[in-house]
Amino acid sequence: MDIQAASKKRHEEFVKVQLRVSDAKVEAARLKREAAMLKTYNSFMGMNTREMTDELKAEHAIGLKLLREKLFCNNS
């Protein structure tokens, strides 16, 4: 194997590793975002709505619905 072929092979392996690292970073960012949404959803679920105005209750319900759809609906 000549030097050029060995260099090309190392470069291809490097690119594969970089792609795996990049994919892992994207997945970590997705999970972090999903965890933040779940934390917000749980916070919304625990809110006392008794003293909220009707307008605020409606906004609260919309927020819960949107978060629930993002978190729990499987659109595959």
| pTM confidence score | 0.71
pLDDT attached to residue 30? 96
User: For the chain, first and last CA: distance in Å?
Assistant: 46
Rounded to an integer, what distance in angstroms lies between the CA atom of residue 70 and that of residue 7? Answer: 45
pLDDT attached to residue 75? 59
Per-block mean pLDDT, blocks of 10 residues, the chain (76 long): 90 96 98 96 95 96 95 75
Count of domains forming the chain = 1
35: domain range? 3-72
* Ranges of H-type helices in 1-73: 3-45, 54-72
